[in-house]
Amino acid sequence: MKIQFLELKDDYAKVLFEETSPYFVNAIRRTLMADVPKLAIENVTIYDNTSALFDEIIAHRLGLIPLPTHLDLLNFRDECSCGGKGCPNCVVHYTLSKEGECTVYSGDLRPEDPMWAVVDKNIPIVRLLKNQRLILEAEAELGRGKEHAKWQVVNGIGYKYYPIIEIDMEKCNLCEDCVKICPRDVLEIKRKKLVVKDEMACNLCRSCVETCKKDAIKVRGDEKRIIMQYETDKSLSAKDALMEALKALHHKYDELEKALE
């Protein structure tokens, strides 16, 4: 299998998988969603809350705030040498103290070390009125998306077959109907010839095929070349998330091989 990044940003990736199959790419998709480790708030101790929201609602909102995840520095709490008591190797502590008329944002969470500062500081948690306050401590630990959505790194994930567009110029009369109906602006007339302007932009809707009265266009997907795109919540970069998913999938296959032996 070959992997090529068509687009790569800190929180977005568009990846081309070649010499593969839909079944394997779908396994990568499921692993990205369910098995990539991520840091999230699990335990909240609220000392004072006179806001309009119940303690449980605030704790739930805190759990969904994206936190930076440095996997090389953290262990899973149930696998840590401290026996799950909660040491710096498996737990990250945060505090929050706000009072008076204001909006409490995610940026008001103060970590023990600045390296664990929240990714997005502008997520609203609760609105405080005059003389209201919110004081709490929170513990964050590693988890996986299959346990709870707050530990899901990747969202908006999907994939499609690599589009193959074939044009028979002997049948084409350059009526331009296919060019006009294409929602992705894939086709164009150039030098008295119908050509593909951007093959990868095609979403295989086949509108051009249905419109062409001369049957001059054929569109199909290549099952051995698959394009996947996804976003992350910035707790991990898009590239790191894919690398962790591949590691997790490789580990599963190793366990399956040992079980079969």
Question: What is this structure's pTM?
Answer: 0.87
- The full set of domain ranges for the chain reads 2-34+155-229, 38-151
Q: What pLDDT is recorded for position 261?
A: 83
Q: Are 125 and 51 in contact (CB under 8 A)?
A: no
Read off the pLDDT of residues 57-83 as tens digits, 9 standing for 90 and up: 999 999 999 999 999 999 999 999 999
The architecture that CATH gives domain 2-34+155-229 is 2-Layer Sandwich (3.30)
Q: What is the largest CA-CA distance in the chain?
A: 79
Q: What is the Cα–Cα distance from 199 to 163, expressed in whole angstroms? A: 7
In sequence order, the β-bridge partners of residue 220 are: 164
What are the mean pLDDT values of the chain's consecutive 10-residue runs (261 residues total)?
Answer: 94 96 95 96 97 96 97 94 93 97 97 95 96 97 96 95 94 92 92 90 93 93 95 96 95 90 83
| Class in CATH terms, 38-151 | mainly beta
Q: What is the Cα–Cα distance from 144 to 163, expressed in whole angstroms? A: 34
Q: What is the Cα–Cα distance from 57 to 55, expressed in whole angstroms? A: 6
Q: What is the Cα–Cα distance from 219 to 236, expressed in whole angstroms? A: 37
Q: Are 172 and 181 in contact (CB under 8 A)?
A: no
Q: What pLDDT is recorded for position 212?
A: 92
Structure tokens, 23:
């079944």
From residue 206, how far is each of 159, 178, 185, 202, 210 by CA, in Å? 17, 10, 13, 9, 6
Q: What pLDDT is recorded for position 39?
A: 97
Tell me the residue length of the chain: 261
